[in-house]
Homo-oligomer: A and B are copies of this chain.
């Protein structure tokens, strides 16, 4: 937060960012050549350290890094394999460590923190605002946090304790403590003079918060209004009397929706007594939105967390473990359903070739339904009275799809195996499995929502499990009944 001014000139275009990465890689490659001489024992290590070329490479790299925005250094660190990453990390100025740690991904942050001793970590944390320290805290060793606490003022300790107390997905976790406050019974002239006493205003200050003596929020004074209004006007006359407020325990998603809906840049956070405790700014919200959609995508593919692309094989295996295990279980169940009909398959082996089609299309159709329902639930568009309507619609879609695609596949089955009953069974099984997919696709997310759980998580596994086992059962069952 605090670095805004000095870095404003260093920010660059995304192509430049790529360019930076390449430059660093070139410098690293040159460095590696010299290092190579040492490894091949063509040069003793102590000579390397004295070597002018070597020193120059290091100096160039260091200069390059110094002129980059912390976010860009973070980007470069993420794109480098572990050994080079730590080498570069070592060259970064100590006083920038904290800002950069905030910017890197969780997986990469772990590798950096592992490489630092507690003294360095304490130094890095101490450069940050309390709300930022709270963001790092889960990754820091206990003794480091103890030392950090000791170095803070009483007020800051209180803030840090507060910031750490909030749930990760709450407004409190997005909040910072940099709200600029004014009183309502002064003129704008006074406010303007007060602001000139600042060296700079906190980033994303688009409004000042009007509080009374007890810190209770009375209103908000947008800078836009401050600037266009006659300075002799009183704050109380032009302030927005009932601004949108958030509470620390509100869900972060509530804040995100409010920012998006009402195009906010900042919003005050108040406690139950309407006392101003902090503010949320749009950059925190943007980061939250990105991270949410990122982690959703990862969890949909069954990755536990974002993966450092240079993670070891073993770390990767562990990251992907749980999902494969779940899938193994569901696949095993489906396999046992087939096993129950082995007698039928033995008599009519065409069933083995056709059954995956029924299962597969059911899974895809069910996932379409679920995606739509999860989205509507997230937007709060589904209530009891339109739930039934939705059910009916999805069943209708499934029946129509079943007749169209199932009919087509029935024709194909008939064409391949010259059996009209087989074609009819195929069509019927497709239609029934699509209807099953529709029912489960609506019911699963709605039930999970009712149970107070996230309807998006695991819904896709569940529906695939149902449509696989169900598809095999319906198709093989119908075939056993009518064909054998």
B360 contacts A327, C-beta separation under 8 Å = yes
CB-CB < 8 A to A242: which residues of B?
9
Q: A81 on the interface (CB 8 Å rule)?
A: yes
Given the known A-B contacts A69-B261, A258-B14, A297-B371, are A21 and B361 also in contact in the complex, defined by CB atoms under 8 Å?
no
CA distance A205 to B260 in the complex (A): 17
In the complex, which of the residues A72, A227, A258, A346 has the most CB atoms of chain B within 10 Å of its own CB atom? A227
Q: A268 on the interface (CB 8 Å rule)?
A: no
CB-CB < 8 A to A18: which residues of B?
380
Q: A158 on the interface (CB 8 Å rule)?
A: no
B368 contacts A320, C-beta separation under 8 Å = yes
CB-CB < 8 A to A354: which residues of B?
335
Which of A278-293 touch B at CB < 8 Å?
282-283, 285-287, 289-290, 293
Q: A224 on the interface (CB 8 Å rule)?
A: yes
A334 contacts B356, C-beta separation under 8 Å = yes
A267 CB to closest chain B CB (Å) equals 10
A101 CB to closest chain B CB (Å) equals 16
Given the known A-B contacts A260-B286, A334-B356, A393-B316, are A21 and B254 also in contact in the complex, defined by CB atoms under 8 Å?
no
Q: A196 on the interface (CB 8 Å rule)?
A: yes
CB-CB < 8 A to A483: which residues of B?
none
A67 CB to closest chain B CB (Å) equals 13
Q: A421 on the interface (CB 8 Å rule)?
A: no
CA distance A63 to B354 in the complex (A): 60
Q: A240 on the interface (CB 8 Å rule)?
A: yes
Binds B, one of A36-44, A50-58, A383-391: A383-391
Q: A33 on the interface (CB 8 Å rule)?
A: no
Given the known A-B contacts A400-B317, A401-B320, are A386 and B204 also in contact in the complex, defined by CB atoms under 8 Å?
no
Number of interface residues of A (CB under 8 A): 140
- Report the nearest B residue to A222, measured CB to CB: B8
Q: A397 on the interface (CB 8 Å rule)?
A: yes
Which of A371-411 touch B at CB < 8 Å?
371-372, 375-376, 379-383, 385-386, 389-390, 393, 396-397, 400-401, 404-405, 408-409
A200 contacts B224, C-beta separation under 8 Å = yes
CB-CB < 8 A to A199: which residues of B?
228
Interface string of A193-218 (1 = CB under 8 A from B): 00111111101111000000000000
- Report the nearest B residue to A263, measured CB to CB: B283
- Report the nearest B residue to A464, measured CB to CB: B360
Q: A244 on the interface (CB 8 Å rule)?
A: yes
A286 contacts B285, C-beta separation under 8 Å = yes
CA distance A346 to B347 in the complex (A): 8
Given the known A-B contacts A310-B389, A397-B313, are A368 and B302 also in contact in the complex, defined by CB atoms under 8 Å?
yes
Ranked 5 nearest A-B pairs via Cβ: A293-B293, A301-B371, A263-B283, A352-B352, A313-B396
**A–B Cβ pairs within 8 angstroms, 10 of them:** A14-B380, A25-B385, A75-B261, A79-B379, A196-B227, A204-B206, A205-B224, A297-B375, A324-B361, A351-B352
